[in-house]
């Protein structure tokens, strides 16, 4: 862990810092550090999960009636009635994950300058690029994984509650097994979070990190205004809207984007989904290249930055 503190015998004879800490250990501690500072990364989703469960609990009072009436309408309606709360829970948690990522990115390299702690972080043997990359891991990996894990737990609790209610009301438990395919939903969601919320949105996160490293104040405006300005300029100069449409394509969400070539309902699109095609698409890789460029610039900017 740390080098033995033997007395040193002189400048010339002492080789410069042979001890090196492995990159994955630095990454591990950097991510833990981010979670210490930005507790909203997990607190906000936890609160939303709590609200979902509360809402589900309140709604469960008329759940049996809903299922009974849906049963008489047909299998599609029945499946819909049983599955809808679970889909909604996943959607809300993905939504809050996205919001958390945005706020995190805008704050990440700005807060450390505002509270002057950048001087402390810079007194440690971590390069600016290491710091920026480890911060990028939060929206790229940590938030998606927290979102999936929390969704799994939330839906398990919902399932448990459903089982109890069905049991008590005398309805058949097989209703759940035949109409609810949670494991498929989880697999879909894991892919959706890592591919879309992580990789596909990467240039947006990198851009926001750059804005947060750059801005003296109002980092959020620095992140938002340039794209808006380009759109306004294009509209007034050429009366076209290619840039806003392109932005919509890049960051508009699942349907229509490269991650989901088929245009089906996202959570049922497992069959349409082509991971290989997504991973080989030029749009994904050009986006990642742009993200890498933004991160590199953000690291250069941070190098020049001190306390505000």
- Catalog residues that contact another protein under the rule CB under 8 A: 1-3, 5, 7-12, 14, 16-17, 19-21, 25-26, 28-30, 32-33, 36-37, 112, 115-120, 122-128, 130, 303-304, 306-307
101/134 with CB nearer another protein: 134
Supply the DSSP symbol for 262.
S
Q: Considering the complex, state which of residue 2 and residue 61 has its C-beta at the smaller distance from another protein.
A: 2
Residue 288 near residue 299 (C-beta atoms within 8 A): no
Nearer to another protein, 65 or 308 (CB): 308
Cβ burial, residue 109 (10 Å; 0-12/13-18/19+)? buried
- The nearest distance, CB 27 to another protein, in angstroms, is 10
202, 105 Cβ separation under 8 angstroms: no
Longest CA pairwise span in the chain (Å): 88
Comparison of 43 and 280: residue with beta carbon closer to another protein: 43
Residue 147 beta carbon to another protein: minimum distance, rounded to whole angstroms: 24
Question: Residue 46 Cβ, how far from another protein at the closest point, in Å?
Answer: 19
Q: Cβ closer to another protein: 29 or 242?
A: 29
Smallest gap, in angstroms, from Cβ of residue 144 to another protein?
24
H, E, C per residue of 33-102 = HHHHHCCHHHHHHHHHHHHHHHHHHHHHHHHHHHHHHHHHHCHHHHHHHHHHHHHHHHHHHHHHHHHHHH
Min CB(29)–another protein separation in Å:
3
Q: How far is the CB of 129 from another protein (least distance, A)?
A: 9
CB 126 within 8 A of CB 23: no
Nearer to another protein, 27 or 141 (CB): 27
According to DSSP H, which parts of the chain are helical? 23-37, 40-59, 63-73, 75-114, 118-122, 128-137, 143-169, 174-179, 182-191, 202-214, 219-238, 242-251, 275-280, 282-304
Choose between 26 and 188: whose C-beta lies nearer to another protein: 26
| CB-nearer residue toward another protein: 16 or 58 | 16
For the bound state, the minimum distance from the C-beta of residue 135 to another protein, rounded and expressed in Å, comes to: 14
Measuring CA to CA, which residue among 252, 246, 274 is closest to residue 262?
274
Return the structure tokens found at 244.
């806003």
Distances (CA, A) of 218 to 23, 214, 221, 223: 33, 10, 5, 9
The minimum distance between CB 48 and another protein, in angstroms, equals 23
The CA distance from 207 to 194, in Å, is: 18
């Amino acid at each position: 862990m740390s080098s033995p503190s033997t007395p040193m015998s002189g400048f010339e004879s002492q080789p410069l810092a042979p001890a090196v800490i492995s990159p994955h250990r630095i990454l591990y501690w950097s991510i833990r550090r981010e979670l210490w500072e930005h507790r909203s990364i997990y607190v906000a989703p936890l609160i939303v999960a709590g609200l979902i469960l509360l809402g589900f609990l309140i709604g469960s009072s008329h759940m049996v009636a809903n299922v009974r009436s849906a049963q008489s309408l047909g299998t599609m309606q029945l499946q819909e009635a049983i599955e809808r709360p679970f889909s909604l829970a996943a959607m809300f948690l993905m939504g809050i994950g996205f919001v958390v990522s945005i706020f995190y990115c805008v704050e990440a390299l700005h807060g450390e300058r505002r509270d002057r702690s950048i001087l402390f972080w810079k007194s440690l043997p971590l390069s600016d690029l290491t710091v920026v990359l480890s911060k990028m891991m939060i929206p790229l990996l940590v938030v998606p994984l927290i979102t999936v894990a929390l969704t799994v737990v939330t839906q398990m609790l919902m399932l448990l509650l459903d089982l109890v209610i069905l049991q008590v009301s005398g309805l058949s438990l097989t209703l759940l097994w035949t109409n609810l395919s949670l494991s498929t939903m989880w697999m879909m969601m894991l892919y959706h979070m890592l591919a879309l919320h992580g990789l596909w949105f990467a240039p947006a996160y990198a851009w926001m990190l750059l804005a947060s490293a750059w801005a003296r104040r109002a980092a959020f405006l620095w992140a938002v205004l340039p794209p808006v300005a380009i759109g306004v300029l294009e509209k007034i100069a050429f009366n076209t809207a290619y840039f806003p449409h392109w932005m919509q394509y890049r960051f508009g969400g699942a349907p229509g984007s490269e991650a989901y070539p088929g245009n089906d309902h996202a959570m049922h699109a497992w069959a349409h989904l082509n991971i290989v095609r997504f991973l080989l698409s030029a749009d994904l890789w050009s986006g990642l290249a742009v993200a890498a460029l933004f991160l590199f610039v953000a690291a250069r900017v941070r190098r020049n930055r001190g306390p505000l």
